[in-house]
Structure 1
């Protein structure tokens, strides 16, 4: 279809005597054929988050051997023992690939998040469940989602709309602080409130091109109209978030603006990543308490874990391949130490959220966090018996402190459960062998 529209086409309008323009997304016609309660009575929000770590666990040291409440603490779950009544551990849930390749460290993560096994390495084949949840609950806060990574890789993401779109992540605590508490932040507990004139202007700019958008749609094919509608859905979300910033926020007792962290770029040294992760999570906790977002994604390390220890050039990933299994222990001792350190970071994450009071409970009491890795045993690349956890009480919407053992069930059941707990009106999730309409009933109140 020849539309006469080029990639340089923009929607233009006038605002306060100046020309404004909104550029368009990539359309098919641009491409070739290959292409509890607040003070005013509103309930305290229930948040959702994910926590990812790479290279799995050690069989026999993580998954509880039996199902039911009061799960058995094993060596790799020791760091979360203090919070075991708020953590559920899943075992016996698999990524079903339907004959697609098991890409090393690149199949498990996207399969869990999207309910679809990728056919191309390094891609998210469909919208991730956290993004679907953000579509449902994330549009009445300043940020739809907040995405951070302890390791210094800004591409370290498993979240997004799919079809090549993945959320960028922040790795710098200093930059994250400025984004949260710098320009544009409004203290909900301040006595005075003055709308930001810049925000007012930005909101108006997004409104002036609406008529041109409608005219443009009439010149496009069906696929491009759908893509343009998806694009402007995002624009409308931004416009709604700008509108919120023109209103005085609800007072929030738990909200305290923290001191800014120092500037420090982090690469892949475990000791630095651990410190960076903790600082990022403390900032995130206060962003949640200040109602800056309801949805977040935290990655400790990357899937093919490039972590090293200070003074060593040998990576966690390399150890999983090269280190011999100790005959007496039955596992790779140095590789397993990395798992122990990562689980310690998970315990730190839980401690920060459970140590932040809110109302008659804590932040952790009013959220659901899905934590997972991309494999069980990294040496084998297996995507069965995936290490997955729920943490938090979701405001009383889930039963917690359980061991749930499936029978080689699709991991998509867990994603479906998370979405339904968060109120998303969805009755099925996944595709192919992982398409399911069965939530995990043991954890749903």
Structure 2
């Protein structure tokens, strides 16, 4: 597939006062059109921390948004009201600790773990989707996170390195900075075949040395330590798979960057904007079909001029300044999400259709409000789930419907052949038809 990036005459981004101004995506990114096969399904998982303000974000009743209206917190999404679906009464049965953050948001594993034993997570649904949708892409999935001053602990995300966990239940590192994502997506001087081969050989040599030393060590270890070492080598195998994929794609050049590299210290709202826009380019150019993004919370508040800490907003009940800040945060998050939907609708896919029409996007949080673990927010958009009818708030008849049922439903809509995920008891039929 060929992608053209005439950045001189048809740029998609402009530099403005040290920041990046996003413009509508142009046909030069769409590649060939009608002659291409049907576009692939894409899945995007977006997660924030600490939930939203109970009284002003969540709709009071079920129904079509055109009839029940948009709440204050959802108001920035009004222009997309016919293309989003909000689901209520979903509960992550694995989340038993409100301070566990988003550790089990995409996995459903028990955050508290088993007493006396190490916490062991399970595979996240984005990685399960990547096994099916990412076989023929440069990156089986893009895993994005954010630099937060506390490493995520006080931003509502808890432990882990991103929203993604591998098949062994190990945390997968995310790309934290827009600049790092820029360097990974677009061609740079270090992408020559010779230099790539040198890097691959060095990495493989290190892995071989680790394997030899580890094999000798294993004979002297206890059974428990042997299990830990086995888990470690499972991670080593994941690295090897990554190297194999890099070698496979080494002769296929990356697209040239359509805009200048972002600033080194970009954070908060500007960072989210740029991450969203680069996600669009990655999907549009076929570099990946699956994306997860653990979004920043602390730096977003700082950029908004809110001096309160993110965690303090989860205790807003008796503080008027905190209530006001929480409501402003909600509107900002909805506005950023609306921007992302704008971009999906503007971008052209390989056959000339809207990229939006081939995507399944989930936006939500591991908590509802404050420290409430039940009835977590979930918003779906995109036309990739052909059986899901948008434009409504769906209140499920069964309280505490497993969140895993929701993930299973979305994966099946994307063509992932799976009848069960985590603690699922089935799909969510109320979303279909």
Q: What is the CA–CA distance in structure 1 between the aligned matches of 2:364 and 2:75, rounded to whole Å?
A: 17
Distance 1:313 1:75, change over 3 A: closer
**Alignment-derived partner of residue 258 in structure 1:** 258
Q: Does 1:196 align with 2:188?
A: no
TM-score by length of 2: 0.73
> Offset at 1:319?
3.8
> Offset at 1:170?
2.5
Unaligned runs of at least 5 residues, structure 1:
1-35, 187-194, 250-254, 267-271
**Alignment-derived partner of residue 131 in structure 2:** 135
Q: Which has the larger radius of gyration?
A: 1
Unaligned runs of at least 5 residues, structure 2:
1-29, 153-160
Q: Deviations over 1:259-281 (max 9, x none)?
A: 12332314xxxxx5011111121
Q: Which of 318, 323, 326 is the matching residue for 1:324?
A: 318
Q: What is the CA–CA distance in structure 1 between the aligned matches of 2:246 and 2:260, rounded to whole Å?
A: 25
Q: What is the CA–CA distance in structure 2 between the aligned matches of 1:167 and 1:183, rounded to whole Å?
A: 25
Do 1:67 and 1:404's aligned partners in 2 also have CA atoms closer than 8 Å? yes
Do 1:48 and 1:422's aligned partners in 2 also have CA atoms closer than 8 Å? yes
Distance 1:442 1:257, change over 3 A: farther
> Offset at 1:309?
5.1
Do 1:63 and 1:89's aligned partners in 2 also have CA atoms closer than 8 Å? no
Q: Which of 389, 406, 412 is the matching residue for 1:420?
A: 412
Distance 1:151 1:404, change over 3 A: farther
SS of residue matched to 1:357: coil
Q: Deviations over 1:238-285 (max 9, x none)?
A: 424532443589xxxxx884212332314xxxxx50111111211221
Do 1:323 and 1:335's aligned partners in 2 also have CA atoms closer than 8 Å? no
**Alignment-derived partner of residue 440 in structure 1:** 428
SS of residue matched to 1:335: helix
1:176-215 counterparts in 2 under 5 A?
A: 176-183=181-188, 196-199=193-196
SS of residue matched to 1:298: strand
SS of residue matched to 1:114: coil
Do 1:200 and 1:246's aligned partners in 2 also have CA atoms closer than 8 Å? no
Do 1:149 and 1:171's aligned partners in 2 also have CA atoms closer than 8 Å? yes
Do 2:403 and 2:424's aligned partners in 1 also have CA atoms closer than 8 Å? no
**Alignment-derived partner of residue 92 in structure 1:** 89
Q: What is the CA–CA distance in structure 2 between the aligned matches of 1:395 and 1:436, rounded to whole Å?
A: 19
Q: What is the CA–CA distance in structure 1 between the aligned matches of 2:60 and 2:429, rounded to whole Å?
A: 20
> Offset at 1:346?
1.5
> Offset at 1:397?
5.3
Distance 1:150 1:277, change over 3 A: farther
Do 2:42 and 2:384's aligned partners in 1 also have CA atoms closer than 8 Å? yes
Q: What is the CA–CA distance in structure 2 between the aligned matches of 1:337 and 1:173, rounded to whole Å?
A: 24
Q: Which of 275, 279, 284 is the matching residue for 2:279?
A: 284
SS of residue matched to 2:176: coil
Q: What is the CA–CA distance in structure 1 between the aligned matches of 2:251 and 2:126, rounded to whole Å?
A: 27
Distance 1:395 1:57, change over 3 A: closer
**Alignment-derived partner of residue 403 in structure 2:** 411
Distance 1:41 1:305, change over 3 A: closer
Q: Which of 421, 428, 432 is the matching residue for 1:429?
A: 421
Q: What is the CA–CA distance in structure 2 between the aligned matches of 1:437 and 1:245, rounded to whole Å?
A: 42
**Alignment-derived partner of residue 171 in structure 1:** 176
**Alignment-derived partner of residue 400 in structure 1:** 390
Q: Which of 93, 107, 118 is the matching residue for 1:114?
A: 107
Q: Which of 368, 378, 381 is the matching residue for 1:388?
A: 378
Q: Deviations over 1:106-141 (max 9, x none)?
A: 25x334311223125997721111111112222321
Q: Deviations over 1:194-246 (max 9, x none)?
A: x9345567778999999xx99x9999899677875674365245424532443
Q: What is the CA–CA distance in structure 1 between the aligned matches of 2:305 and 2:73, rounded to whole Å?
A: 25
> Offset at 1:185?
9.8
Q: Which of 215, 220, 232 is the matching residue for 2:237?
A: 232
Q: Give the alignment's Cα RMSD to 1 decimal.
A: 4.0
> Offset at 1:94?
1.5
Distance 1:101 1:70, change over 3 A: closer
Distance 1:124 1:370, change over 3 A: farther
> Offset at 1:322?
5.7
Q: Does 1:145 align with 2:141?
A: yes
Distance 1:265 1:404, change over 3 A: same
Q: What is the CA–CA distance in structure 2 between the aligned matches of 1:306 and 1:286, rounded to whole Å?
A: 23
Q: What is the CA–CA distance in structure 1 between the aligned matches of 2:177 and 2:238, rounded to whole Å?
A: 29
Q: Does 1:333 align with 2:324?
A: yes
**Alignment-derived partner of residue 348 in structure 1:** 339
**Alignment-derived partner of residue 66 in structure 1:** 61
Aligned length: 376
Q: What is the CA–CA distance in structure 2 between the aligned matches of 1:308 and 1:280, rounded to whole Å?
A: 18
Q: Deviations over 1:54-83 (max 9, x none)?
A: 221122433333334446321111111212
Q: Deviations over 1:284-320 (max 9, x none)?
A: 2112111111111223324x88833566532232244
Q: Which of 265, 269, 290 is the matching residue for 1:295?
A: 290
Distance 1:196 1:102, change over 3 A: same
